[in-house]
Amino acid sequence: MSSKESGKAEDTSRRRGRPKSNDLVPSPLVARLIAYRESQGWTQPQTAERLSISVNTLKGYECGSRIPNGPNTLKILELLEARSPV
């Protein structure tokens, strides 16, 4: 692909409101989930199973390319609250 074609693809994605991949940041909730997952020594597949979501969905959340929907946000909150000391 030429640089001209590459520029067109980038312009199109920006018009659609998509950030460049290096601009992506997980939400604060997902950042907490990542920190918790790592502190427990859980892999992404183990965490996805606990949340009843696909590994690809979790990976999307963690890299910032996806945002958890309502039900999945609740699952994340429940996991964090159920495991957090009070």
Distance CA 56, CA 16 (A): 22
**What are the tens digits of pLDDT across the range 45-65?**
999 999 999 999 999 999 999
Top-confidence residue, 12 or 70? 70
Whole-number Å distance between alpha carbons of 40 and 3:
44
Is domain 27-86 classified as CATH 1.10.260.40? Answer: yes
Contact 32, 80 (CB under 8 A): yes
Reported confidence tier of residue 75, pLDDT bands at 50, 70, 90: very high
Residue 41, exposed/middle/buried by CB under 10 A (0-12, 13-18, 19+)? exposed
Q: Where are the domains of the chain?
A: 27-86
